[in-house]
Amino acid sequence: MLTEAAGAVNAAPRRGGTAPYLAVGRHAVEAFLAARPHDVDRVLVCRDLADTLSGLGHVRVEYVVRDVIDRLAQGLPHQGVAALGRHPSAWALDDLIAAQPEIVLVLDEVTDPRNVGAILRSAEAAGVGAVVLARDRAPQLTPALVKASAGAVEWVPIVRVVNIVRTLDALRAAGYWTIGLAGESSESLYEKGAIPGFPLALVVGSEGEGMRQLVRRSCDRIVRIPMLGRSSSLNASIAAAVALFEVRRLATDRLVGAAPPGAKP
């Protein structure tokens, strides 16, 4: 269904509701259409956009002047397209434990939406089965986060939890090794045995302070990414990507023996 829209588009929430999910940019919109077409209310396309999006089907499309999407995007690059609809459903912790993916990523107070979006993009590329975020001290799925994820929010299950420490304890009880990432650790991520086995939950701390002490204590092991240059640390999203792909390499190559959970120290 194609319609013309000359004026402003009302993206405000209905009374008593929440703000609609907004994806801006071609990658984010096409992922939304591919993953959850029935949750897409409408797609906005600039009238001067020559090419078309894939996967539109019977989705309502509104051709608008570029200023309309500019206002919705609030400064984010949008490539002339945006989509509004319903938010993806979050997993409960019980869903995660039941699914038991091989690799889980846990973010402890990583609060920058663009960093979280970039981390989600890396997590999806590395085949992470789920990403755990705190319910209150983590960003919501804002347009900036969705844009930075390049559509990964549509493919990686997100688990919102009340308490990260209790969540790690639950994962350990379910057979997960819990491995924290911290620059001051004496053990390198690349040392033999640093990753003792799978399933595994990798914990990444905040941009400034890293993991909180209580979270560290809930980890079976703390490892670092060796730094060979003058820089003393990496951005949280870069550190997460480096660590995730090393973990994925080990999971794929099976260079580490997957000890049974009962063998943990």
Q: Do residue 127 and residue 67 come from a single domain? A: no
The three state secondary structure string of 146-164 is HHHCCCHHHCCCEEEECCH
pLDDT at site 210: 86
Split at pLDDT 50, 70, 90, the class of 11 is very low
Write out the residue range of the structural domain in which residue 210 sits: 93-254
Give yes or no: residues 55 and 162 share one domain: no
The pLDDT of residue 232 is: 67
- Residue where a domain stops, chosen among 85, 117, 134: 85
- Give 6's pLDDT tier (boundaries 50, 70, 90): very low
Q: Residue 209 has what pLDDT?
A: 81
**HEC sequence for the chain:** CEEECCCCCCCCCCCCCCCCEEEECHHHHHHHHHHCHHHEEEEEEECCCCCCCCCCCCCCEEEECHHHHHHHHCCCCCCCEEEEECCCCCECHHHHHHHCCCEEEEEECCCCHHHHHHHHHHHHHCCCCEEEEECCCCCCCCHHHHHHCCCHHHCCCEEEECCHHHHHHHHHHCCCEEEEECCCCCCECCCCCCCCCCCEEEEEEECCCECCHHHHHCCCEEEECCCCCCCCCCCHHHHHHHHHHHHHHHHHHCCCCCCCHHHCC
Which of 51-55, 57-61, 160-164 is modeled with the greatest confidence?
160-164
**What 3-state class would DSSP assign to 220?**
coil
Residues 125-146 have pLDDT tens digits of 999 999 999 998 899 999 999 9
Q: Are residues 138 and 224 in the same domain?
A: yes
Q: What is the C-alpha to C-alpha distance for residues 31 and 123, in angstroms, rounded to an integer?
A: 16
Q: What is the pLDDT of residues 13-43, one digit of tens each?
A: 333 346 789 999 999 999 999 999 999 999 9
Burial zone of 212 (CB within 10 Å; 0-12 exposed, 13-18 middle, 19+ buried): middle
List pLDDT tens digits, range 193-248: 999 999 999 999 987 788 999 999 999 999 999 988 777 678 899 999 999 999 99
CATH code, 20:
3.30.1330.30
Residues 238 and 118 in one domain: yes
- CATH classification of the domain holding 129: 3.40.1280.10
Which of 263, 128, 127, 243 lies closest to 197 in space, CA to CA? 263
Region 168-192 average pLDDT:
94
Q: What is the pLDDT of residue 178?
A: 98
pLDDT score of 1 more than 50: no
Q: Looking at the domain assignment, is residue 261 inside a domain?
A: no
| Residue 256: per-residue pLDDT | 42
How confident is the model at residue 213, as a pLDDT?
94
- Whether residue 179 sits in one domain with residue 71: no
pLDDT of residue 229: 76
Q: Which of 5-9, 46-50, 197-201, 212-216 has the weakest average pLDDT? A: 5-9
Structural domains counted in the chain:
2
Same domain, 157 and 63: no
263 is a domain residue:
no
Condensed to tens digits (0 to 9), the pLDDT of residues 81-94 reads 999 999 999 999 99
